[in-house]
């Protein structure tokens, strides 16, 4: 009689698990996604360094070059996208082996501005014209995507889609999936996939902005 009772209880339990809407366990999977976009902004530092025996002469020449550079910059961007990042005026020094001491040299003035513009294709020409106008410092060329939110959304959507596909391959027949929990598996960090910056301005390669995302999803399996 006891054996019959246990069989009845076990049978009832099994039927409950297989009944429509009943939970049939969980599946935990990870999905990864990525998104690519061409940069829509370029930032570059351009300036000049001048040396002269007279401080005022070095400063005057520097100011003349920087005024010409600002005029060139304003043809491609607005004033709020131009700012000075460094300015320095000092007398240079060098070691004199004959005297065995440091001796003073000419005055040196260095002025560098950072410029941001959205005309990516115009950056090379702007740099070329800047050098023609007297710039002898060009550095820190950086391409970026100004708004990465859309890229991140695309990467997350692709990550969730991959996680769903994995879960569909793993779930038993006769079950459907319901999301129980989802969390970020790693921090999304936009990175620039770029070719090496060429020495000549006309051969610069912007590359593409690359965003990756990873999520961990827990699915509840439910009997159909």
Whether 130 is covered by a domain: the verdict is yes
d(CA 61, CA 56) in angstroms, rounded, equals 9
- Tell me, yes or no, whether 128 and 190 share the same domain: no
Picking from 102, 129, 144, the residue at the C-terminal end of a domain is 144
Q: Residue 84 sits in which domain range?
A: 41-144
Indicate whether 153 and 95 sit together in one domain. no
Q: In this structure, what are the phi and psi dihedrals at residue 71, rounded to the nearest 5 degrees? A: -60, -40
Query: How far is residue 144's CA from residue 189's CA, in Å, rounded to a whole number?
Result: 13
Residue-averaged pLDDT of the chain: 83
- Residue-wise pLDDT tens digits, 3-39: 443 333 333 333 334 455 555 689 999 999 999 888 8
In a domain, 75, yes or no: yes
**Do 182 and 88 share a domain, yes or no?**
no
Q: What is the pLDDT of residue 16?
A: 37
Q: Is residue 12 in a domain?
A: no
Backbone angles phi, psi at 189, to 5 degrees: -130, 110
pTM over 0.95: no
Residue 162 belongs to some domain of the structure:
yes
Torsion sign, CA atoms 172, 175, 176, 177: negative
CATH number at residue 89: 3.30.70.2970
More confident residue, 122 or 17: 122
**CA-wise closest residue to 26 among 142, 175, 159, 138:** 175
Task: Say if residue 55 is in the same domain as residue 76.
Answer: yes
Does residue 15 sit within a domain?
Answer: no
Strands (E), the chain: 23-37, 41-52, 82-96, 101-117, 137-144, 175-186, 191-193, 208-223
Give the mean model confidence (pLDDT) for residues 58-72: 97
Domain boundary among 98, 121, 144: 144
* Same domain for 139 and 157: no
* Residue 62 shares a structural domain with residue 118: yes
Q: How many domains does the chain have?
A: 2
Single residue among 144, 169, 195 that ends a domain in this structure: 144
pLDDT of residue 208: 82
Is the domain of 139 the same as that of 58? yes
Q: Would the pLDDT of 117 be above 90? A: yes
What is the CATH number for 33?
A: 3.30.110.170
């Amino acid at each position: 009689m006891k054996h019959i009772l246990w069989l009845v209880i076990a049978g009832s339990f099994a039927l409950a698990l297989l009944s429509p809407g009943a939970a049939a366990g969980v599946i935990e999977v990870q999905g990864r996604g990525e998104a690519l976009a061409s940069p829509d902004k370029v930032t570059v530092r351009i300036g000049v360094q001048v040396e002269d025996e007279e401080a005022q002469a070095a400063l005057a020449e520097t100011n003349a070059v920087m005024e010409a550079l600002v005029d060139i910059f304003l043809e491609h961007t607005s004033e709020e996208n131009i700012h000075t990042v460094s300015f320095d005026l000092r007398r240079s020094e060098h070691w004199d082996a004959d005297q065995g001491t440091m001796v003073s040299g000419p005055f040196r003035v260095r002025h560098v501005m950072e410029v941001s513009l959205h005309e990516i294709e115009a950056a090379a020409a702007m740099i070329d014209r800047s050098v023609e106008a007297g710039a002898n410092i060009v550095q820190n060329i950086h391409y970026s995507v100004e708004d990465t939110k859309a890229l991140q959304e695309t990467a997350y959507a692709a990550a969730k889609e991959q996680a769903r596909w994995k879960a569909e391959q793993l779930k038993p027949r006769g079950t459907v999936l319901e999301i129980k929990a989802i969390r970020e598996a790693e921090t999304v960090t936009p990175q620039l996939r770029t070719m090496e910056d060429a020495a000549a301005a006309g051969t610069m390669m912007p590359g593409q902005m690359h965003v990756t995302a990873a999520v961990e999803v827990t699915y509840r399996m439910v009997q159909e």
